[in-house]
Amino acid sequence: MKNWKAIAGSVILAGALAAPAATLAFGGGQGPHHHKGHYMEHIAEELNLTEGQKAQLKANREAAREAHKAQRKQKRELHKKLREAIASGADQATLDSLGAELGRLQVAEMQQRHKQRQQFEAILTDEQKAKLEKLKVEREERRMERRGKRGEG
């Protein structure tokens, strides 16, 4: 059982480390599609993206959409297999194997998000990159401020 816990912990930690940057770069809110269009409009306005940059950003997102959809489907199927294996009392080797496969899928998703972030940043000018970094810092400061207020209440 220790192997399973280590794998699950590693996957969760890796996701937690990647989430803030992905959220900022790709408009996360309460869910993967929560106000995504509004965020992209906002970031395009904040960074003063050209029409060409906006078109490239949209093309990059659309190109990644099908791969992401396939990854989500694989992940759902694997979660289902894992739940069924646990419910049926499968042996530890089977659970470890399914857990390792789930971890590989999580890593592949993180790599895809990283690639998308790189593509996004590649279309930016140096001035826009500096502005993006400033926005990231400001967003993190607001997040920490909100977190502090919740702890006080």
Query: Tens of pLDDT along 112-135?
Result: 999 989 999 999 999 999 999 999
pLDDT per position as a tens digit, 30-88: 455 445 557 777 888 889 999 999 899 889 888 888 888 999 999 999 999 999 999 99
Cα separation, 27 vs 19, whole angstroms = 11
Instruction: Give the pLDDT confidence score for residue 105 in this predicted structure.
Output: 92
Give the confidence band of 148 by pLDDT, cuts at 50, 70, 90. Answer: confident
Instruction: Give the pLDDT confidence score for residue 107 in this predicted structure.
Output: 93
For 14, residues 6+ apart whose C-beta sits below 8 A from its C-beta are 106, 107, 110
Cα separation, 96 vs 42, whole angstroms = 43
Report if pTM > 0.85. Answer: no
The arithmetic mean of pLDDT across residues 137-150, rounded, is 89
How confident is the prediction for the chain on average, in pLDDT? 81
C-beta of residue 54 within 8 angstroms of C-beta of residue 46: no
Residue with tokens 């894992």: 82
Label residue 48 left, alpha or beta by phi (over 0 means left) and psi (-120 to 50 means alpha). left
For 98, residues 6+ apart whose C-beta sits below 8 A from its C-beta are 78, 81, 82, 85
